[in-house]
Amino acid sequence: MTEIYLPVFGQLAWLDAILLVWLTLTFFSVAYVAYDAFTKNPEMTVMKWGWVLVTLYLGPIGLFLYVMSCQEPAPGTHEEFVKPLWKQGLGSAIHCVAGDATGIIAAAVITAWLGLPMWIDLIVEYIAGFAFGLLIFQSLFMKDMMGGSYIKAVKHSLYPEWVSMNFMMAGMFPVMVVLMMGRDMRAMEPTELVFWGAMSVAVGAGLLVCYPVNVWLVNKGLKHGMGTVRALGKGGHSLEAELRQWLPWLKSPAPEMKGM
């Protein structure tokens, strides 16, 4: 234990003290990313929220990734800045993690309060993460590209979202099991700092594991990479080009996803 005593937390263990410092850095990181994304950076709205959420989960690591891959270095340069495939793939992975991890963490809080066994937790979290990522973060924000059809957006997003999420969960779930079922059982309680610390580490592992497959999905045209309000898709990819790409798919009575 440390000599630090806080009214809300009592006497802090060393791990709690470290986590409080991390959460403080996370607060300032989120504040910076949110301010820059919504007032200065011309990325798509869904990516603005994606970066805010991922920075909320990853703290200064999220801020670092945002500055290195998405923050416009000078006015009018965002399209060129985000063109490299590694940035496109990272944008796709951030999009995936923001949606899926939000569903997983929300489910984890609820199942923890209900006192459900860990194996049931993981099943519920998988369903919640997939549903939130697919139905909200992918399909809802893609329906305009699908001619305004939400159903077609869901059908188009189903395969790449399923692939991406399975890789993300392959990184997240083992870390969650090890950290939350380890020696410090406080990690099972959403009211404890170690719970949020475990979630942060798990999200980081999920992002690391799903990043390579997102590079592949973007390279194959199965997912969108980093875009801007001036151009969608791969840096200088325009909305007109985007619509032309999917026009045959939209007109087909039995659409098949590219590359399947």
The pLDDT of residue 58 is 96
In a domain, 227, yes or no: yes
Contacts of 148 (CB under 8 A, 6+ apart): none
Does pLDDT of 55 surpass 90? Answer: yes
The domain of 181 spans 81-251
In a domain, 9, yes or no: no
Most confident residue range from 62-71, 79-88, 216-225: 62-71
In a domain, 172, yes or no: yes
Most confident residue range from 26-40, 43-57, 101-115, 139-153: 26-40
DSSP 186-233: GGG-TTSHHHHHHHHHHHHHHHHHHHHHHHHHHHTTSS----BSS--S
In a domain, 240, yes or no: yes
The pLDDT of residue 6 is 59
In a domain, 178, yes or no: yes
User: What does the pLDDT look like over 21-40, one tens digit per residue?
Assistant: 899 999 999 999 999 999 99
The pLDDT of residue 256 is 42
Residues 79 and 226: beta-carbon distance below 8 Å: no
In a domain, 72, yes or no: no
In a domain, 33, yes or no: no
* Residue 43 DSSP symbol: B
Angle, alpha carbons 213-219-220 (nearest 5°): 90
User: In this predicted structure, which of 121-130, 178-187, 190-199 has the lowest mean pLDDT?
Assistant: 178-187
In a domain, 260, yes or no: no
The pLDDT of residue 249 is 44
Number of domains within the chain? 1
Most confident residue range from 16-20, 25-29, 113-117, 121-125: 25-29
Mean pLDDT across the stretch 31-56?
92
